[in-house]
Structure 1
Amino acid sequence: MKKNYFLLTLALLLSLGIRAQEVAFEEYNLDNGLHVILHQDNGAPVVTTGVMYHIGAKDEVAGRSGFAHFFEHLLFEGTENIERGKWFDIVSANGGSNNANTTQDRTYYYEVFPSNSLELGLWMESERMMHPVINKIGVDTQNEVVKEEKRQRIDNAPYGKIIYRTGVNKHIFNKHSYKNSVIGSMEDLDAAELSEFIDFNKKFYNPNNAVLVVAGDINIAETKKMVQDYYGPIKNNAEKFVRTKIEEDPITEPIKVTEYDSNIQIPLKALVYRTPGMTERDSYVLDYISTILTGGKSSRLYKKMVDDKKMALQVLAFSDAQEDYGTYIMGALPIGDVTLDDLAKDMDEEIVKLQTELISDKELQKLKNQFENQFVNSNSSIQGIANSLARNFMLKGDTNLINKEIEIYRAISKEDIMRVAKKYLNENQRLDLDYLPESAKEVGDSK
């Protein structure tokens, strides 16, 4: 009884905390199509200015992979009014920080400044949108930077092909451009003409393909005026890019693949499934399933395979939902003479349990408490709030998910978990990947 009372009290406190920290925001469109989201929080003298463009690796044409990620680097080179190589100097000299990142679906740039430098952040991002300088010296410089990044993160990094999906997505997707890696092909970048980079910028880096988010210690009325001054005059260089979702044929039989990596000593067994996109309710259920299987030391796979049977050095299970589709990845590293088939057998046993047995009330309540805690933490920083606002608008079509997404998780039932496990996590619908040290190829050892 005391334990139940504690769980009820914890759930109530989390619920009160979530209501108290609701994120207020205002959103509107400029005449040129730029979507603007403003969030005022005067609790600390900090402001984040971010621009997310609806351009990712999935939008690249055949033979020119890597352009979206390349632009993440290229557009820090400079603008007509920011001298080449001075972007980071300006930010740091004004007490700020900045970064950018690219996914299959979008590219996001942001600056974090003391709030008295808000106008500087708005100006810099407007410069990136309106006056980028794209020339040969910049392309050549960033070409070498991207090549070095690929060497460090993928080519020479243990399990890099798994972490960055270059050894996974190409087997799961046949038609959709998700089959290509975000970092792309160095050969494609080398072969591209300068005019192609200029055309790419004109096609995608337009206000009607972007969302501007300003979050932190701001005055809404003053910020609106600055936004209009800096972004209102920017014209679109092209019609808004219209996507057609590419439908993949269902996977109906196992895809058995062996990959080799000269950077590893311990093999990996990976089971990978194609799953629905991030707006589908089932993708949220898969997040629950991941936590059941490997969400901490009390999770099912960790307790069974790492603690009790001591057959795995590490286990993992996570859902990677994207705009059109997702992937669900399970994996384990063996200990001693344990084979990769042994690992697959034990992982499959836990999947079958989820498909045939309802989880307990206690396990479901624990899941809901964990996700409510994660939800609170995700909105604990201004930078995190800015990113969530932009992403929810651009990729999920509802900015207010920042406040109500937790309700989707709260509504998930034990029956939902069983249904989703049955629907997506089947042996005939997956990639079965043996990821082996290069030395295994030499001796012909497939386990």
Structure 2
Amino acid sequence: MKRSLALVVLALSLSGTALAQDPEIPFDEFYLDNGLRVIVHEDRKAPIVAVTVWYHVGSKNEAPGKTGFAHLFEHLMFNGTENYNDEYFRPLQEVGATSTNGTTDFDRTNYFQTVPTSAVDLALWLESDRMGHLLGAVDQAKLDEQRGVVQNEKRQGDNAPYGKVFETIVTNLFPPGHPYSWEVIGSMEDLNAATLEDVKTWFETYYGPNNATLVLAGDIDVATAREKVERYFGDIPPGPPLTHKERFIPSSVPASRIVMQDRVPEARIYKVWLAPEWISDETTHLQLADLVLTSGKSSRLYQRLVYEDQIATDASAFLMSNEIAGAYIAYATVRDGQEMSAVEQALDEELARFLAEGPTSDELERARTEIRSAFIRGVEQVGGFNGKSQILAENAVYGGRPDFYKHSLEVLNGARREQVLAAARKWIDGEPLVIEV
């Protein structure tokens, strides 16, 4: 329920792109008459079921002046309904549920829990109850309480070292009005302005079953799942028809340099480029390039800046891949007594060397193996942040089908050095947005 989880969910979406022996996640899929999409994966290894709901709405569906509302609404979903006006977690804790949480990102809001098989009915009733019967329990006191909780999260994040950097990145990388040009957590001013009418509008617009994907993964078969889901969700009326935003990558990076003043233990420099959207094959190619540059102490950036030149204490990057656009963010932390200009020059030189040479065969295979290992770790569990229920939901929502990961595997397994180099040259060869802290 913190904004840093956005990066965790981002790592999942990228790690789900390759697998050593291309294992499948078998599933059945059906829709209720009200539009609810249901995906069922049967896994009898343990008497547990992961219950996951993805709503296809996030901060990109907000408007300027109403930022932060997707995340604020996520908090309200845990504070009781018309039929159960108490903390959502309480009955789940009593039956031994694990991994109970919710997160908000630019493009989606998800809610998940893993429960004993005997408690599937409880989890489905709780999820259906807040999908169908939330509004009557949300009053001004609850809104004010959760507004305060979210604003405290924002203060903690902003006051942490480098805590304002991400906000500076998105507000400068994306043009005004772009759906990614504000942080998921929003602004203090907009949070202060949120009203009960905003709550009602958001719920009625985006939290209908026709904008949701329900995944059940674990000790359950499709016939049992269908009967239970129909019983608990079938009478919830659909929301209005929705059109989802399409690919929107700005034509260029605003090549500017921003100097931020902050109380940080060491100075840091960031270089930021635009990147492809989640569904693009180039996202996989660019992730491979990123891992060659940044993964582990043997990576190119770490070896040059930290180990050889000893002018930085850290050097890394990450690929932010979202539904309609992305960003590639490289950074290096200046060692005490060293000059930022020297660190920036070394960072630029290593990036230029990669863009000139591309990855070696060994580097490319190591990167491929790293992604495969991450995916294997995910498919070994049914729930949590990275398990099979999340993989199926993510691929269904962003890729159009639960097994879109198969296409991503094909792209990864077939990725050649020339393709990785071409993607890197296309996306990170121009002038970046530069931020000094």
TM-score by length of 1: 0.89
Higher mean C-alpha displacement, 376-385 vs 404-413: 404-413
| Contact kept in structure 1, 2:277 and 2:283, CA below 8 Å | yes
- Counterpart code for 1:158: P
Question: Do the aligned partners of residues 370 and 17 (structure 1) sit closer, same or farther apart at CA in structure 2, a change above 3 Å counting?
Answer: closer
One-letter identity of the residue aligned with 2:343: L
1:138 paired to 2:142: yes
* Residue of structure 1 in register with 2:114 after alignment: 112
Secondary structure at the residue paired with 2:266?
coil
Give a deviation string over 1:206-249, Cα, whole Å, max 9, x none: 0111100011111321111001111111102x322213437454
Structure 1 residues 44 and 314, CA gap change in structure 2 (3 angstroms): same
Aligned to 1:313: 313
Cα RMSD (Å) of the superposition?
Answer: 1.7
User: For the structure 1 residues 287 and 249, does the alpha-carbon distance in structure 2 shift closer, same or farther, using more than 3 Å as the test?
Assistant: closer
Using the alignment, how far apart are the partners of 1:313 and 1:18 within structure 2?
A: 37
Provide the residue aligned with 1:257 in structure 2: 258
Offset at residue 47 of structure 1 (A): 0.9
Structure label with greater radius of gyration:
1
Structure 1 equivalent of residue 50 of structure 2: 48
C-alpha contact (below 8 Å) 2:173/2:253 kept by paired residues: no
Q: C-alpha distance in 2, partners of 1:361/1:23?
A: 30
Match of 2:95 in 1: 94
Residue correspondence of structure 1 range 217-366 to structure 2 within 5 A: 217-236=219-238, 238-245=239-246, 247-251=248-252, 254-262=255-263, 264-366=264-366
Greater Cα offset, 356-365 or 313-322: 356-365
The CA deviation string for residues 127-177 of structure 1, in whole angstroms up to 9 with x for no partner, is 11001122112101101111111122x222112223xx2121101000412
Q: Letter of the 2:46 partner, please give it.
A: A
CA contact (8 A) 1:315 1:332 kept: yes
Q: Contact 1:253 / 1:427 at 8 angstroms: preserved in 2? A: no
Q: Give the secondary-structure state (helix, strand or coil) at the position aligned to 2:78.
A: coil
Structure 1: 5+ residue stretches without partners: 1-14, 436-447
* Letter aligned with residue 322 of structure 1: N
State the alpha-carbon separation in 2 of the partners of residues 359 and 405 from structure 1: 20
1:51/1:213 contact within 8 Å kept: yes
> What is the DSSP-based 3-state SS (H/G/I as helix, E as strand, rest coil) of the residue aligned with 1:24?
coil
TM-score of the aligned structures, taking structure 2 as reference length? 0.91
In the alignment, what sits opposite 1:10?
Answer: none
**Counterpart AA for 1:170:** T
The letter for the 1-side match of 2:142 is: G
2:31 — aligned with what? 29
- Give the distance between the partners of 1:387 and 1:82, measured in 2 at CA: 26
- Three-state SS of the structure 2 residue aligned to 1:288 is helix
The alpha-carbon deviation at position 427 of structure 1 amounts to: 4.0
State the match for 1:431 in structure 2: 433
Please say if residues 36 and 213 of structure 1, whose CA atoms lie closer than 8 Å, have aligned partners that are also in contact. yes
Mapped to 2, the partners of 1:151 and 1:244 lie a distance apart of 30
Aligned length: 413
Contact 1:267 1:333 in 2 (8 A): yes
Question: Which ranges of 4 or more aligned residues in structure 1 deviate by more than 6 Å?
Answer: none
Amino acid at match of 2:95: N
Q: How many Å apart are 1:348 and its aligned residue?
A: 1.5
Question: What's the counterpart of residue 103 of structure 1?
Answer: 105
Partner SS state of residue 144, structure 1: helix
Name which structure has the greater RCO, CA cutoff 8 Å, separation 6+: 2
Amino acid at match of 1:302: Y
